[in-house]
Homo-oligomer: A and B are copies of this chain.
Amino acid sequence: MAETMRVHTLGGEDLLFLTDEQIRRGIEAMFFAYRAFTADPDLILAGMDYGRAHHRALHFIHRDPGLTVTSLLAVLGVTKQSLNRVLRTLIEDGLVESRVGRRDRRERHLHLTAEGAALERRLSEAQRARMRQAYRAAGPQAVAGFRQVLEAMMDPDTRAQYQSMKDLPL
């Protein structure tokens, strides 16, 4: 409340966008958009025994094949035990392969099987279709701003990780 309607000017640029009300609008937009963002893959997963967590695991294994359980843990930001349950079902069902590390045999390196890659592609394509449509509707300049704000919102560690991921082969 304190800042509501406090509008300034700085270097000739108005700061209307920093009003509490404007920020609240952004918060709500984030909530509604994220719900839509996850809706399509969730619908596909609903039939199977899988959920959103499986999708996330498939996504990051696809993006960085051979990554270890610990790395995946760090990216997903969940506990080892939580990930393990998800990973176990994916391995049992033959979607993910877990290979013992050759240099360090404590490590498990994760890869998608053909079947796993197929599901990943299906989920990913559903999600990308919505994203692509939103990008197309909003245009390149809006997309650039979208990405800027999202990056600025991340925790510094996550942001560093995110930015370094761009180097990975897709």
A residues contacting B by CB (< 8 A) are: 1, 4, 13-18, 20-37, 39, 56, 59, 63, 77, 121, 124, 127-128, 130-155, 158-159, 162, 165-166, 170
Contacts and interface: CB of A to CB of B under 8 A. Distances in A.
A150 B20 contact: no
Contact of A154 (B16, B33, B148, B151): B33
Nearest to A35: B77
B33 A151 contact: yes
A62 to B, nearest CB: 9
A26 B133 CA distance: 13
A136 B16 CA distance: 11
Contacts of A130: 153
